Amino acid sequence: MQACVRGGPGRGTERGGIVSYPLDKLYQEVAYIAYHFHWSPDEVLDMEHRERQIWVKEISEINKEINQTRQG
């Protein structure tokens, strides 16, 4: 069952996500992805929960590789 993550009832737009997902964690994911890929918060919020987690993981891996390369 999908639930509206933003906008409340009657908005007419279903959003991906988990109703009980902590709001602070959602903000962290959105900020992290939006910052690194220059995507708008709305674009990130339109993603399904699992897709956001995949992008967070991929960005983290990219950052690790960059940091390892810089450290030599």
Band of the pLDDT at 3, cuts 50, 70, 90? very low
> What pLDDT is attached to residue 18?
54
Q: Which tens digits make up the pLDDT trace of 25-69? A: 999 999 999 999 999 999 999 999 999 999 999 999 999 999 999
> What pLDDT is attached to residue 8?
44
> What pLDDT is attached to residue 27?
95
Going by C-beta distance under 8 Å and a sequence separation of 6 or more, which residues neighbour residue 32? 56, 59
Closest to 18 (Cα-Cα) out of 37, 32, 2, 39 = 2
Domain boundaries, given as residue ranges, for the chain: 23-71
